[in-house]
Structure 1
Amino acid sequence: MLRQPTLLAFGLMAFIASFAASARNVVFLNNPSPQDVKDIGRYVVKSTGKPFFSDLVLFAANINGSTPNTPVLYYNAEMTAILKNNIDAVRQLQNKGIKVQISYLGNHQNAGWSCSMTSATATKLANAMVADVVKYGLDGISVDDEYSTCSGSASSFYAVLKAIRANTYFSGKTLSKALWSDSSYFRAPYNAANQLTEGYEMTYGGSVSYLTPYVGYGMAKSNLFLGISPEFSSASQAGIIAKNVADGGYQGVMIWAPNAFLNTTTAAQYYTAIVKSQAGSTESVQYVP
């Protein structure tokens, strides 16, 4: 005999459906062209006309330096082309409600996020990042602690994050992190969870279990996203992953570098598979030129 769902069960199902329907999705563009940036705002959910993505991360600017205490921010040709010559592409997204962050990444040099540096250097580096975010009218900073020849200082890493959050010009902005094999930065007294506003798990293995440790570290499920790469997951697999993320109560998914793997047609199909899992089987994503 089948048991009839209780009112509590109906309420729970309604809550899960509501949570899934309000999912946010983040996209990283790897060394994008201005057209890649503009295209992000053209993927819209058919039923609402709203953008599929809530946030774009420009990947990436760099932290250069010959010593940990002499870091310098560096913008490659692609970042320069967008920030200095095509900032209107960013403004178009922001006018549609899409937040635009910039990622800072090590650059195979002796400087970076978690290099052992003085407190003064950590503050100076943080303030330089914030100054450029304000200069270019961006909505946040995304941390990618890779590719530096020095690393591993949890205290320095925390000091940079804390100085970014303490800067009054950064108020209301996003401080996110690429999450991957970084448990050493989530331990007292230098627990990065105390400073981050969002996190994007980048193992690309498809398992929601990769997010579980960060909840244990103190991050809210509503601030966590699971990374999906079109390089490793098909559209149908992406849909399954997105459903598991929604069922787990997490905020949404992060798509890595679709500009490297998908054209506008296949991208719309890929995002449709995701939105069906998040908001219902009748939903779809369209590319609107």
Structure 2
Amino acid sequence: MNTLHKLAAGCLAVCWAFAAASCTDDISLPCSGQTGDSAGAGKIEAYLQSESGKSESTVELRGEDVRSLVRLGLTHVAGEAVDVTLRVAPELVEAYNEEHETSFELFPENLVSIEENGAVLIGPEDVFSDYMALDLTAGEGVVEGQTYLLPVAFDVITEGIAPAAGREAVYLLVKVSGERPDATKPGGFKMVSYIEVNDMNPLNVKNYFLAESGKPFFDIVNIFAANINYDAASGRAYVHFNDNVAHLLANRDKYIAPLQEMGIRVCLTILGNHDRVGVANLSAEGAREFARELRVVVDTYGLDGVDFDDEWSDYPSRPDEAPGFLVPSSELYGRLLIETRRVMPDKLVTLYAYGHTSFYNPIDGKRIGEVVDYAWNSSYLYPDYNSRKDFLGLLPEQWGPYSICLNPDSNQYTGDTLSDAEIQKVHEGGYGVMVWYDLRTDKRQSYVSRFSQVSRVVYGEEVVKQGYDYGKDW
């Protein structure tokens, strides 16, 4: 990872073969409603969005009712009150599954309650309604461990207002998690740990807790790393595991499940591997095929998503240098991210902000900030608050400006130089994620004080360590 450790040699390639399925193009995501005089504004359209502003969001049911918020928007002020009715839309499930190559079942309508029976009013001078609550209940008809789809659409009662094409619904992906603990802390701030699994055991992440609430300190663990590799025989890209990654995945019940049972989500980082292919030079069809293969990997090993890192690829400088692959660009990288989100709408998609990550413009009608869940600063030597602007549509709570390297042997080690001022700036600025790279047990390091330094600010609690250090036992 960025001037740190290269992957070990002697990799074991695992190539997944499956048939390509046809599907339609992704639905474009919207622009926000505009205020101002309605005169001369042209046709007024209505659209629906979640609290995050996206057309899709994930909700977890953990034995208690969960509330999700949506609101209606108008492209222009109407000059009159606009009446709209929200409703569950079972008829959209089949089309959604075809588009995303998924097989979600409808979340039972009898377990959904819409505020005010779905009646929504947008004022004459407003472009947004108030947020409306969707209350979901875990009850009979749902199976623990399964994800369901809940499309919520709307009908416009007021004449002259049309639904915006492609924006007629919000899709909630409802994960029924039962009584499984949740690592989410108040405020939603996320702690991410990259584990160098060539020599470290990922189980060490589960030893750190908040002192009062007992919540796990870490929310996400990234297994660093699998690779995107070139297969000369087929001329295509495939997912490649070295021996260490392969062992952890093959023994997920020992190394991955214990983290997930605490509510920690475990993802797989995808990294270049010194050949002509990388995450930023796939063709449109190549991106679609590779995203499908990633979904197979995630499903096979029960992972919670994928993380991308655009490093260590020997990209061609001309198309003729690598037939079947293109000169790398942010647009090509963005298309891979879009394809990954399309086939994994219920999984995490995160990004290490290095390489071809200048996503200033929509790609295929989508803003990358609405495609990825989180992205973070790729340097450990200084905080970076400005690169969030490289990700069109990325909100502050999705950006990690202050990343920390915990390996004292690295030339980017910052574990002893945590800045109280920067921690406070991250918190007060509304940023929502912090990365800790290369947590180790072989350097006689004590991380409790460093974790507590951050935790006191963002969670109001100290961090404690429980349990013993896990060595590499494979």
Same fold, TM-score > 0.5, yes or no: yes
Matched position secondary structure for 1:207: coil
User: 2:337 aligned with 1:171, yes or no?
Assistant: no
Shift of 1:228: 1.6
Task: Tell me which moved more, 147-156 or 135-144.
Answer: 147-156
Structure 1 match to 2:306 = 141
Post-superposition Cα deviations, 1:145-189, rounded to whole Å, max 9, x if no partner, equal 11111162333222221221111xx23211000013545334333
Task: Tell me the distance in 2 between the aligned counterparts of 1:92 and 1:272.
Answer: 23
Shift of 1:32: 5.1
Quick one: which amino acid aligns to residue 105 of structure 1? L
Task: Tell me the distance in 1 between the aligned counterparts of 2:357 and 2:458.
Answer: 29
Task: Tell me the distance in 2 between the aligned counterparts of 1:166 and 1:148.
Answer: 25
Structure 1 match to 2:291 = 126
Post-superposition Cα deviations, 1:95-136, rounded to whole Å, max 9, x if no partner, equal 100011110000001111111x33221111111111101100
The question of whether the paired residues in 1 share the 8 Å contact of 2:377 and 2:383 is answered with no
Among candidates 334, 344, 347, match of residue 158 of structure 1: 334
**189 and 119 in structure 1: CA distance in 2 versus 1, 3 angstrom threshold:** closer
Structure 2 match to 1:203 = 379
Q: How does 1:221-260 map to 2 (within 5 A)?
A: 221-226=396-401, 227-230=403-406, 231-235=412-416, 237-259=418-440
The question of whether the paired residues in 2 share the 8 Å contact of 1:240 and 1:277 is answered with no
The question of whether the paired residues in 1 share the 8 Å contact of 2:268 and 2:306 is answered with yes
Task: Tell me the distance in 2 between the aligned counterparts of 1:41 and 1:241.
Answer: 26
Structure 1 match to 2:458 = 278
Shift of 1:239: 4.4
Structure 1 match to 2:209 = 44
Shift of 1:65: 0.7
The question of whether the paired residues in 2 share the 8 Å contact of 1:199 and 1:223 is answered with yes
Task: Tell me the distance in 1 between the aligned counterparts of 2:255 and 2:419.
Answer: 28
Larger RCO of the pair (alpha carbons < 8 Å, separation 6+): 1
Task: Tell me the distance in 2 between the aligned counterparts of 1:250 and 1:126.
Answer: 29
Post-superposition Cα deviations, 1:245-276, rounded to whole Å, max 9, x if no partner, equal 1111100311111227854x512222112212
Larger Rg: 2
**188 and 158 in structure 1: CA distance in 2 versus 1, 3 angstrom threshold:** same
Quick one: which amino acid aligns to residue 440 of structure 2? N
Task: Tell me which moved more, 49-58 or 253-262.
Answer: 253-262
User: 2:448 aligned with 1:268, yes or no?
Assistant: yes
Among candidates 163, 174, 188, match of residue 362 of structure 2: 188
Q: How does 1:45-124 map to 2 (within 5 A)?
A: 45-65=210-230, 70-115=236-281, 117-124=282-289
RMSD: 2.5
Quick one: which amino acid aligns to residue 396 of structure 2? K
Matched position secondary structure for 1:178: strand
Task: Tell me the distance in 2 between the aligned counterparts of 1:179 and 1:260.
Answer: 27
Task: Tell me the distance in 2 between the aligned counterparts of 1:277 and 1:246.
Answer: 7
Among candidates 193, 204, 222, match of residue 27 of structure 1: 193
Shift of 1:235: 4.0
**42 and 120 in structure 1: CA distance in 2 versus 1, 3 angstrom threshold:** same
Matched position secondary structure for 1:155: helix
* Structure with greater helix share of residues: 1
Quick one: which amino acid aligns to residue 426 of structure 2? V
The question of whether the paired residues in 2 share the 8 Å contact of 1:206 and 1:241 is answered with no
The question of whether the paired residues in 1 share the 8 Å contact of 2:377 and 2:387 is answered with yes
Quick one: which amino acid aligns to residue 424 of structure 2? K
Shift of 1:69: 5.0
Post-superposition Cα deviations, 1:72-100, rounded to whole Å, max 9, x if no partner, equal 21101221121013542211111100011
Quick one: which amino acid aligns to residue 84 of structure 1? A
Task: Tell me the distance in 1 between the aligned counterparts of 2:384 and 2:428.
Answer: 10
TM-score when scaled to structure 1? 0.82
The question of whether the paired residues in 2 share the 8 Å contact of 1:20 and 1:246 is answered with no
Quick one: which amino acid aligns to residue 48 of structure 1? S
**262 and 51 in structure 1: CA distance in 2 versus 1, 3 angstrom threshold:** farther
Q: Structure 2: which 5+ residue stretches go unaligned?
A: 1-184, 316-326, 407-411, 468-474
Task: Tell me the distance in 1 between the aligned counterparts of 2:279 and 2:355.
Answer: 15
**60 and 285 in structure 1: CA distance in 2 versus 1, 3 angstrom threshold:** same
Task: Tell me which moved more, 37-46 or 227-236.
Answer: 227-236
**196 and 21 in structure 1: CA distance in 2 versus 1, 3 angstrom threshold:** closer
Q: Structure 1: which 5+ residue stretches go unaligned?
A: 1-18
Quick one: which amino acid aligns to residue 189 of structure 1? I
**240 and 83 in structure 1: CA distance in 2 versus 1, 3 angstrom threshold:** farther
Could you tell me the percent identity over the aligned residues?
A: 20
Shift of 1:243: 2.2
Task: Tell me the distance in 2 between the aligned counterparts of 1:218 and 1:286.
Answer: 36
Quick one: which amino acid aligns to residue 247 of structure 1? E
The question of whether the paired residues in 1 share the 8 Å contact of 2:190 and 2:432 is answered with yes
Post-superposition Cα deviations, 1:16-66, rounded to whole Å, max 9, x if no partner, equal xxx985422111112255x73111111001111110001111110001115
**82 and 26 in structure 1: CA distance in 2 versus 1, 3 angstrom threshold:** same
**162 and 232 in structure 1: CA distance in 2 versus 1, 3 angstrom threshold:** same
